[in-house]
Amino acid sequence: MQGTRGPNSGVWIWAIPPLYVLLHGIIATCLPSRLDALSTVCIVLAEWGAVAVSIRAAKQSGHPARALWLLLSGSILLHSVAMTLDVLAETTGATEFNFVPGFQIFFSMLSSVPMLVAVSLQSDRRTAKIARIAYSLISLAIGAVLYLQLFTILTVSGSQNPADAILIMHLFDAIDLFLAAAATVRWLGAEQPQEVQFFRVLSIFLWIDALLPAIHNRIILRHDYVWLDLFLSAPYLILCALMLRSKERSVRVSSPRVSRVIRSGSPIFLTMALVTVGLFAIRSHFYIGLGAVLFAVATYGALNVLIQTRGLEAEATLLADKRLLERLAVVDGLTGIANRRGFDKVFHREFSAARRGGTPLSLLMIDVDHFKEVNDELGHQVGDEYLIQIAQALRRALPRVTDIVARYGGEEFTAILPATGSAGAVHACEKLHDAIRHLGLHHPTAKEGIVTISIGVSTFDGSAAIAAQRLVEAADRALYLAKSGGRNRSESMEPDETTV
């Protein structure tokens, strides 16, 4: 059973960050300097809390939001490794006069890689497996080049050179701003409610995490105040509150076109990161940097080719399905010939062509005589089988490609005979009567003992100004005459002239 939140739950959740910051501030300012490591422990605890809440959000989410929350938790976990190393270093006194400790900086930079994957990840299941492989390879390449380039600038123990600290600070600024901007773009392009929720939370967090650490880094270069650690724990506390209070929003942030453009272009973020890192590394490791750039471009190109191929395959499948549906929409499900909708479509097309070309067009309305008795005496299953055989016989009796036989409704059929005058229509009626007679279908009440048909004929000679509906009405009246005159016969009637 799912619990409900009280009306003041939101207030208490938003009270957590300032209360924790207050506690952290007391620890950072009131304890003796030998316990400064406890302030860094507060940062680690805030990060672990954010990891726990993001894993909780992942469990409550479906695809693809689950993967996004897990990537966020992985990123924070990597950063917590850097801060844990700081705790160990502070405990041993190794951080004195060392503003850029090597491994701490490396893990801090490495924590940006899962975020790059998150802002690049697409939710297309057709390419999910290949995309995961490509993103993993690019991520490993970024980590490897970062490691190589970072320890080209720094030693394992770090650096006491202020110039190195400023360079690393600007590098972190660039990474943080890039991630925040990319997450905001993804938020604007998100469609699914869970994706909107994730990227909204991520965007707010990353902008805060770009601003507060930037302030921290600039002050700490001049003053080593312990209370500056509050700038590092605050973003994670705000993130926890955002995740706990975040609700799915079904409102679309952007138009469908903008959303599609952003989603299609999002994989470029990870590629841009590797290209940038590669270009940065070219100055000191030319071939490795060049290889990273070429690998990024090749992987991105291969992934795009795959996505485009899958898209073309999907488009071809949709077109085939569309054609199939269009065909099924004009085909009678029982007899396999054209249905009433198919008849209307073909008849109006052929009538317009006959009127434009001044050529004749004949229409036959066909009714199975006393078919109700067949259903009543022999059953509807036998009646359906008779209709199938009658439809096939009618179609075989009119072998011209241009002749169309359709089921008009119930036991009533129709035939469209383009380029056929009155004499040709009469001849066609004789062939149809013979075809049904030769079937020899048993009729329980007919005096002939077999199923027969009645036909009404109407012909447009190509010159009279009549409407298409008049031709149908004339054929229907002719059918009525044939049935009134004893059935198993044909009657003809000229359509009434009507100004079109």
Could you tell me if residue 330 is inside a domain? no
Instruction: Output the pLDDT for position 251.
Output: 47
Quick check: 362 and 420 in contact, CB under 8 A?
Answer: yes
Could you tell me if residue 328 is inside a domain? no
Say which CATH number the domain at 129 has. 1.20.1070
Could you tell me if residue 325 is inside a domain? no
Mean pLDDT for 207-218 is 91
- Of 225-234, 266-275, 330-339, 483-492, the poorest mean pLDDT is in 266-275
Same domain, 175 and 217: yes
The pTM is what?
0.61
Instruction: Output the pLDDT for position 3.
Output: 40
Could you tell me if residue 497 is inside a domain? no
Could you tell me if residue 332 is inside a domain? no
Same domain, 257 and 364: no
Using the predicted structure, report yes or no on whether residue 30 has a pLDDT greater than 90: no
Boundary of a domain, candidates 285, 318, 351: 318
Distance of alpha carbon 263 from alpha carbon 27, whole angstroms? 45
Q: How many helices (H) and strands (E) does the chain have?
A: 17, 5
Q: What is the pLDDT of residues 313-323, one digit of tens each?
A: 767 877 776 67
**Top-ranked range on mean pLDDT: pick from 73-87, 255-269, 299-313:** 73-87
Same domain, 189 and 301: yes
Number of structural domains in the chain: 2
**Top-ranked range on mean pLDDT: pick from 19-23, 56-60, 168-172:** 56-60
Greater confidence (310 vs 380) lies with 380
Strands (E), 273-403: 361-368
Average pLDDT, the chain: 84
Domain containing 434: what range? 340-492
User: CB neighbours of 409 closer than 8 A, spacing ≥ 6?
Assistant: 340
Residue closest to 229 by CA, chosen among 43, 56, 446, 401: 43
Residue closest to 120 by CA, chosen among 21, 253, 264, 234: 264
Same domain, 298 and 354: no
Same domain, 314 and 363: no
Q: For residue 175, what are its two tokens?
A: 């990474």
Instruction: Output the pLDDT for position 205.
Output: 94
Percent of the chain scored above 70 by pLDDT?
Answer: 87
Q: For residue 462, what are its two tokens?
A: 């190509």
Instruction: Output the pLDDT for position 435.
Output: 96
Instruction: Output the pLDDT for position 211.
Output: 94
Boundary of a domain, candidates 318, 352, 367: 318
* pLDDT level of residue 473 (50, 70, 90 thresholds): very high
Q: What is the pLDDT of residues 64-98, one digit of tens each?
A: 788 899 999 999 999 999 899 888 887 876 545 56
Using the predicted structure, report yes or no on whether residue 120 has a pLDDT greater than 60: yes
Q: Provide the sign of the torsion angle of the four alpha carbons 268, 271, 276, 277, taken in this order.
A: positive
Mean pLDDT for 378-395 is 95
Same domain, 344 and 309: no
Using the predicted structure, report yes or no on whether residue 355 has a pLDDT greater than 70: yes
Could you tell me if residue 305 is inside a domain? yes
Amino acid code (one letter) for 231: F
Instruction: Output the pLDDT for position 123.
Output: 64
Boundary of a domain, candidates 318, 353, 386: 318
> If you count them, how many residues does the chain have?
500
- Of 193-202, 253-262, 380-389, the poorest mean pLDDT is in 253-262
Quick check: 294 and 275 in contact, CB under 8 A?
Answer: no
Same domain, 159 and 228: yes
Same domain, 229 and 371: no
Same domain, 136 and 258: yes
Mean pLDDT for 349-354 is 91
Same domain, 266 and 222: yes
Q: What is the pLDDT of residues 443-463, one digit of tens each?
A: 999 888 999 999 999 999 887
Using the predicted structure, report yes or no on whether residue 252 has a pLDDT greater than 70: no
Greater confidence (454 vs 142) lies with 454
Same domain, 314 and 375: no
Instruction: Output the pLDDT for position 127.
Output: 57
Greater confidence (163 vs 438) lies with 438
Is 268 exposed, middle or buried (CB count within 10 Å of its CB: 0-12, 13-18, 19+)? middle
Instruction: Output the pLDDT for position 365.
Output: 97
Say which CATH number the domain at 394 has. 3.30.70.270
Instruction: Output the pLDDT for position 85.
Output: 87
Could you tell me if residue 499 is inside a domain? no
Same domain, 305 and 346: no
Could you tell me if residue 329 is inside a domain? no
* pLDDT level of residue 500 (50, 70, 90 thresholds): very low
Instruction: Output the pLDDT for position 75.
Output: 93
* pLDDT level of residue 170 (50, 70, 90 thresholds): confident
Instruction: Output the pLDDT for position 268.
Output: 81
- Of 27-41, 279-293, 478-492, the poorest mean pLDDT is in 27-41
Residues forming beta bridges with residue 366, ordered by sequence position: 413, 455
